[in-house]
Amino acid sequence: MDYSLLQSLPLFQGMDTDRIRRIILLSGCFEKDYKKGNYIYFEQEPIENMGLILKGHVYMTKENVWGEKTILVRMGKGELFGENFACSHSPTASVTFYAPEPATVLFIPYRRLLSCAGEKEVLPFIENLISMMTDKAQKLMQKSSIISQKTLRDKISCFLSAEAEKQGSLSFTIPYSREDLADYLCANRSALSRELAAMEKDGLIRVHGRDFELLKK
């Protein structure tokens, strides 16, 4: 296990490699690799272990009764997933987690971690965990703000504005393919492509693949 890599991640912020090694041993953490398209947790599956992404990305998705998929959150290196379920008294997942690309995950058994929470050296880890869970809640609030917009154009504008703000530039690259962006915005892919073309024609944006530029009105 690469402890220097772990030291660079938010969950282990402020810890030296010796402390990280002890926490890993105490809590029984283990690594697992996933290929592109592999599912990590299915909806209705009990989740006992939180996942920390060491490489690649993980999508949290939800399907309706017609099998239509919505991407709720896209998570990358250093981010957690499944923590809300693992920490719950009812750990059954109400969403699905899968790897859209090759990924490596460090799994953290929550109940075992809880049993050693009284250890002084584990306290900074718990504090970092709570902070990261708060950040995740904010991401979900942002997603809710985007998809609550009335029209598809408003959803796109809200999403692109948030990406520009996050990346600190009016020119940026989005993390989604067209299909994944349509899933994220709860939109039909063809309708999304038409609306992006219309927004470009109206002089609001420039688009090339995943590269976008917001133009001043």
**In this predicted model, what pLDDT tens digit does every residue of 9-24 receive, in sequence order?**
999 988 999 989 988 9
CATH, domain 3-140, list 2.60.120.260, 2.60.120.10, 3.50.50.60, 3.90.190.20 = 2.60.120.10
Helix (H) or strand (E) holding 13: none
Assign 128 to helix, strand or coil. helix
- Residue pLDDT, tens place only, 160-208: 999 999 899 999 999 899 999 998 998 889 999 999 999 999 999 999 9
Q: What are the extents of the domains in the chain?
A: 3-140, 149-214
Lowest-pLDDT choice from 26-30, 73-77, 112-116, 207-211: 112-116
Class in CATH terms, 149-214:
mainly alpha
CA–CA separation, 70 and 43 (whole Å): 13
User: Which residues are paired to 58 by β-bridges?
Assistant: 75
**Within this chain, domains 3-140 and 149-214 share the same CATH topology:** no
Q: Which two tokens stand for residue 205?
A: 């944006």
- 162 Cβ contact partners less than 8 Å away, ≥ 6 residues apart: 142, 146
